[in-house]
Amino acid sequence: MPKPSLAVVAFISAFAGVVNAQPHAFITNQLDNTVSVIDTERQKVVDTVAVGGKPAGVAVNPGKSHIYVSTPEGGGFAVLDRKSFKVLRTVKVGGASLGIAVDKPGERVFVADWYEHSITVFDTKDFAQIGLISVGKSPSGMTVSPDNKWLYVANRVDNSISQIDLKKLSIRNTTKVGAHPFGIAVDGKGTRLYAANVESNDVSVLDTRRMKRIATLKVGARPYAVALAKDDKILFVTNQDDGTVSAIDTASLKTLAVIEVGDKPEGIGTHPDGRFVYVANWFDNNVSVIDAETLQVVHTIATGEGSRAFGEFISP
């Protein structure tokens, strides 16, 4: 058989690079110690990666081609290669790591320690610890402001949100919200923060300029996490005990629809196109894909046991 020409080889290599560059969703399956990698172009799982320590949280660092996965029972996090999907290394934190986030330049990763009530900061070059910030009790969800000035942390047991100055690595403000905030999201302008409050069955809306509550939105039973879609026009909230997602108009703060998904929906994230929203269903071991235009589920993708995907789990 004749060998392919250099031009053909170059084309195949380029094509493979394009395919691998497609956005992927990284779904932690906590009960079987794996991460399912979903190709969002084909809407199917293309790899399953073994990650010990009951993987839970996810943060994507596109600048470093890294995926960070928190491992609560492993006391740290795993670093995955975004192209090969291989585990590159594990990093120890200390207690039970849960929430995880990365700054906008991709230079620092932040890990919430549930039992130590702190945020540990690592550089992403050699994963040396460069900071430790005491926050409220049982820190969980985290997100970084678009301008990279602030890290927001949900303190579940303290019913509060901490605003951390990323230059000083110190707390600027702490704001009370609903009962047991968990998942949080900030809008593209950095002016509004949304917090899902598990025990009070509502979402707190904060003005980030003053760190003041401007609204409280009633949703379903035990809301877990939140995500914004369609240029921040719609807020999606997973309601764990209802098996639903609430879709809320962010201008009027009115509920547009309540969408049935799988059993015990937890993590939620929006595709870079701003239209398709991915929901990890814990009890059904799958992911529901919602079309933000029609507010309907358009795909269901089988993943692993105990799909959680807590954090910002879709690569750009």
Residues 111-161 have pLDDT tens digits of: 999 989 999 999 999 999 999 999 999 999 999 999 999 999 999 999 999
The token pair that represents 111 in the structure block: 């890990």
Q: What single letter denotes the amino acid at residue 146?
A: P
Distance CA 155, CA 189 (A): 23
CATH top class, domain 135-218: mainly beta
Q: What is the pLDDT of residue 10?
A: 39
Q: Determine the 3-state secondary structure of 86 from DSSP.
A: coil
Q: How far, in Å, CA of 102 to CA of 312, rounded?
A: 10
What one-character-per-residue DSSP string does 160-195 give? EEEEEETTTTEEEEEEE-SSSEEEEEE-TTS-EEEE
**How many other CB atoms are there within 10 angstroms of residue 112's CB atom?**
29
- Confidence (pLDDT) at 278: 98
Chain position carrying tokens 């050699």: 126
pTM for the structure as a whole:
0.93
Q: Identify whether the C-beta of residue 246 lies closer than 8 Å to the C-beta of residue 201.
A: no
Residue 270 CB contacts under 8 Å (≥ 6 apart), including other chains:
227, 228, 229, 236, 276, 277, 278, 292, 314
Q: What is the pLDDT of residue 16?
A: 40
Regions in the chain scoring below 50 on pLDDT: 1-20
d(C-alpha 12, C-alpha 290), whole Å: 33
Kind plus residue range of the DSSP H or E element containing 312 = strand 310-312
> Which pLDDT does position 2 carry in this prediction?
44
Tokens in use for 315? 């690569």
